[in-house]
Amino acid sequence: MMGPRVRDAVPDPAPITVSLHIVNTYQRYPSVETTVADAVVPACPIAHPPATDAEQELLEQWAEQHLYPFTGAGHPDGDAFYDLTVTASTLPWLAGTVFSWGY
At 1-16, the pLDDT tens digits run 454 444 444 456 899 9
pTM greater than 0.75: yes
Lowest mean pLDDT among 7-16, 21-30, 65-74: 7-16
Helices (H) and strands (E) counted in the chain, each on its own, are 1, 4
* pLDDT tens-digit series, residues 37-46: 999 999 999 9
Provide long-range contacts, Cβ within 8 A and 24+ apart, for 73-78: 73/24, 73/26, 73/29, 73/32, 73/34, 75/26, 75/28, 75/29, 77/28, 78/26, 78/27, 78/28, 78/29
